Amino acid sequence: MPKPAALVRLEDELARRPKELTQAKAQGKRILGYFCSYIPEELVWASGLIPVRLCRRGDNQAATIGRSFLTTNSCPFACSCVGLKKQGRDPYFKLVDLVADAPACLQMRRVFEVWERYFGVKVILLSFPRKFYLPEASEYFARMLEPFTRELSDYSRIPVTPERLSRAVELYNHIRRRQQRLYSLLREDPPPITWRDVFRIIHAGFVLDREMYRDILDELLEEILPQPHTNRPPQARLLLAGSIMAPGDEKLFNILGELDAEPVMDELCTGSRGTWGQVDAPNEGSLARHYLTNIPCSSLPYPRLEDDPRHAHISRLIKDYRIQGVIYHTLHFCDAYNFKVQHLHNLLSSYSIPLLHLNSDYSMADAGQIRTRVEAFLEIIQDRSA
């Protein structure tokens, strides 16, 4: 199937983006970087700052540098984020004027501390409720969004007016609706677009101008929806879940590719997670509710195992996407996602869905091992469906 024109345009825009941001900066625009999907981007956009989600390919060399600032037992993504800043080669890491942190993940909190202390980067900290599931948490978070917004506006010198906020909420709701639509297409067999493409499209939204991104999403859907679905059906319907997977993290996908396999769906904070739900009104209360009641990141302590909302969500995805197996990929020392994997494993076993847990990092030392595991996992799925 030829590549949709809108996807080609998306790639062109991505290639152009670093230069475009450099020019915007020269014209006095300011760029705000962030890592975590709990930052309400609507407020950043409404304050006139250019939001960039600093989710870049985990790099083993950068991680080695980062480890000297953090600890040898720190998550490789966190280490990589420090190393990439120190190296100063990644255009986005280089261009950001300030960063915002919603400390859900405490390992990532250290990254901000290092950036502030050693690289002199201004950090805006958004207070974050640990008991996120309580109704009071949304009230608290809504109140905390006020000083956060004030700090953004102080920096950009553009006040977040009701009109600006309303436009921002509308824009992001629109983007989320389109992204959800793309993900819903992956339920079809064969789908009109591959999961890998959808994943890349989500990632483009981390850096591109958001209004242009919205338009490209519209174009893309108009283009692919009427097309006949000629993609090959996948050999196994896999769901990918677990620790953060940044744009350009190819290790697992290369191994899967060698085995002619690919996920059909994800439950990742850099994938489908941010696309669910809508902000129902342009105010802090609605924003707070939206972000806190979405599928929670595992770094937030949900105290009970039995009704963990993320596990329930994964179970739903398994049903909706007719998943045959879950690949649960975690990063070394990412205790947030390693901690509950056994429980999820047991839960899925109870309805005969196999789970493969891969605990890895950005080095290639274990690539052969991982390949054997994935291959054996695919053999299990084949044997079951035979």
Residue 235 sits in the site that holds other proteins (CB under 8 A): no
Q: CA 366, CA 334: separation in Å to the nearest integer?
A: 17
Residue 372 sits in the site that holds other proteins (CB under 8 A): yes
Residue 352 buriedness (CB in 10 A; 0-12 / 13-18 / 19+): exposed
Tell me whether residue 121 or residue 380 sits nearer to other proteins (CB atom).
380
Instruction: State which of residues 161, 227, 342, 385 lies at the interface with other proteins (CB under 8 A).
Output: 342
Q: Which residue has the tokens 């930052």?
A: 39
Residue 349 sits in the site that holds other proteins (CB under 8 A): yes
Q: Which stretch binds other proteins (CB under 8 A): 77-85, 214-222, 304-312, 367-375?
A: 367-375
Q: Smallest gap, in angstroms, from Cβ of residue 108 to other proteins?
A: 24
Please name the residues in contact with 165: beta carbons below 8 A apart, sequence gap of 6 or more.
42, 43, 46, 282, 283
Q: Which stretch binds other proteins (CB under 8 A): 170-178, 268-276, 304-312, 370-378?
A: 370-378
Residue 354 sits in the site that holds other proteins (CB under 8 A): yes
Sheet harboring 31-34: ordered strands across?
A: 50-53, 31-34, 98-101, 122-125
Return phi, psi of residue 265, to 5°: -160, 160
Q: Smallest gap, in angstroms, from Cβ of residue 372 to other proteins?
A: 6
Instruction: State which of residues 73, 227, 369, 385 lies at the interface with other proteins (CB under 8 A).
Output: 369
Strands (E), 25-155: 31-34, 50-53, 98-101, 122-125
Tell me whether residue 33 or residue 242 sits nearer to other proteins (CB atom).
242
Return phi, psi of residue 268, to 5°: -130, 150
Q: How many residues bind other proteins (CB under 8 A)?
A: 16
Q: Which stretch binds other proteins (CB under 8 A): 23-31, 172-180, 307-315, 363-371?
A: 363-371
Residue 375 sits in the site that holds other proteins (CB under 8 A): yes
Q: Given the rule CB under 8 A, which residues bind other proteins? A: 342, 349, 354, 359, 365-366, 368-369, 372-373, 375-376, 379-380, 383-384
